[in-house]
Amino acid sequence: MPSYRFEKIVLLSDRDSIGLTEKIYSKLIAYSRTAGKIPGRLREFNPEELEIRVANNNEIIPNIKTTVRGRHVYVIKSSTVNQIYEPNTSLMEAFIIADACIQASADRVTLVAPHLPYQRQDRRSTDKITGAEKREPLSAKLTLRLLKESGYSGLITVDPHFDQYRSALPNDFQLETPTARIAIANHIIKSGLLEKKVTVISPDYGGGKRAEILAKDLGITYGGLCRKQREKPGIIGNMTVLPEEGITLSEYDFALILDDIIDSGGTLEKCYQALKAKEVKDIIVAAPHGIFTKGAQQRLLDTGIKLITTNAIPQVYDPRIEVIDLSTILAVTIHCIATGHGSISRKLFNINEYRALEEKLSR
């Protein structure tokens, strides 16, 4: 009779995240060879171990088809359902999956949501005319509370929308927020684009710091930012380009716009037009989270913008869009949590360390 083998770490994946989870599993195995074995061992990933069924009345019924008793379960969860962006359904699935794991006596459950919906609603906005605060929810904070209440002990998410994210955390809830910026930087370097004269532009004030860090990673100039005036939420009015002192944008071959989310694409369209008015030759847009609502993908491509995004949100294949894989970033983050050692800040925020790591894991 074979001896019982206990494997502490279990990866579960929804249907849209199977490809990403297979890559994460492979990277975890490769990384463990040099960074240290995971205590309690990692169970081989089986995409059939999580089934999500929809009842006739549209209620969601997940079924964990393997033992998770005493395990640390990582639920890799997309924000899409059948390749369609579904923030409400995907969140409800995440909540119920956690409860299913807890009911099956899992020791801990961590959500791996490269893109977590509702994180832009981090404060009450103000009326553009009166300046009065609107009666709006703080959905970002509420989402985190609901994740904990449903059974999660932690969350791994990529590039949350606002810097003060940790202040919204419930007590005793572990959060890791690796950045896709470093993978974008590596992709740009490998593409050969830096043989041309390139500058980095932020599409708004809020992304200025992020764009400056990317420019530093790439060893190129931070060119400035675009200042937008919103007539009302979702509607962009005038867009003004504010170059850094001493920068003449027309001298550059490419402007690389770094955003965090591409939703309807309105800001980026206006930014593109404003940069073209400054005689910028070509424009590339890079963003970790490509939602692409209201036909944004096609409209942006029609302008001549080159698009780069990641698989933080599963993308339907389009040869005109470059999609960067985040499996290394997510695998290293999981390894650091599971082993209790290793430095996320050194491996995943330093361009030279990350490039060496990617090269090693890709062999």
Q: What pLDDT shows up at residue 1? A: 39
Over residues 169-198, mean pLDDT: 94
User: Distance between CA 361 and CA 25 in Å, rounded?
Assistant: 12
- Does 4 have pLDDT greater than 60? no
Q: Return the structure tokens found at 274.
A: 């404003």
Q: Percent of the chain, pLDDT > 70?
A: 94
Q: What pLDDT shows up at residue 124? A: 67
Contact between 138 and 123 under an 8 Å Cβ cutoff? The reply is: yes
Q: What pLDDT shows up at residue 228? A: 76
User: Distance between CA 268 and CA 342 in Å, rounded?
Assistant: 37
- Does 69 have pLDDT greater than 90? yes
Confidence of residue 354 (pLDDT cuts 50, 70, 90): very high
Give the model confidence (pLDDT) of 71-94 as tens digits. 999 999 999 999 999 999 999 999
CB atoms within 10 A of CB 182: 24
Confidence of residue 235 (pLDDT cuts 50, 70, 90): low
Q: What pLDDT shows up at residue 54? A: 95
Contact between 66 and 47 under an 8 Å Cβ cutoff? The reply is: no
**DSSP reduced 3-state for 341:** coil
CB atoms within 10 A of CB 9: 21
Q: How far is CA 38 from CA 298, 330, 360, in A?
A: 44, 15, 19
Instruction: Please state, rounded to an integer, the average pLDDT across all residues of the chain.
Output: 91
- Beta sheet of 306-310, edge-to-edge order: 235-243, 221-232, 198-202, 254-258, 282-286, 306-310, 321-324
Give the model confidence (pLDDT) of 190-214 as tens digits. 999 999 999 999 998 888 999 999 9
- Beta sheet of 9-13, edge-to-edge order: 9-13, 72-76, 108-112, 154-156, 174-176
Opening angle at CA 122, ends 118 and 128, nearest 5:
110
User: Distance between CA 288 and CA 1 in Å, rounded?
Assistant: 49
Q: What pLDDT shows up at residue 166? A: 73
141 is catalytic: no
Q: What pLDDT shows up at residue 230? A: 61
Q: What pLDDT shows up at residue 234? A: 53
Q: What is the DSSP letter of 60?
A: E
Active-site residue identified among 228, 232, 270, 360:
228
- Does 2 have pLDDT greater than 50? no
Give the model confidence (pLDDT) of 252-293 as tens digits. 999 999 999 999 998 899 999 999 999 999 999 999 999 999
Give the model confidence (pLDDT) of 295-320 as tens digits. 999 999 999 899 999 999 999 889 99
Q: What pLDDT shows up at residue 328? A: 97
- Global confidence as pTM: 0.93
Looking at this protein, which amino acid is placed at residue 274?
A: A
- Domains of the chain in start order, with CATH, are 9-180+326-361 (3.40.50.2020), 181-324 (3.40.50.2020)
Q: What is the DSSP letter of 59?
A: -
Q: What pLDDT shows up at residue 256? A: 97
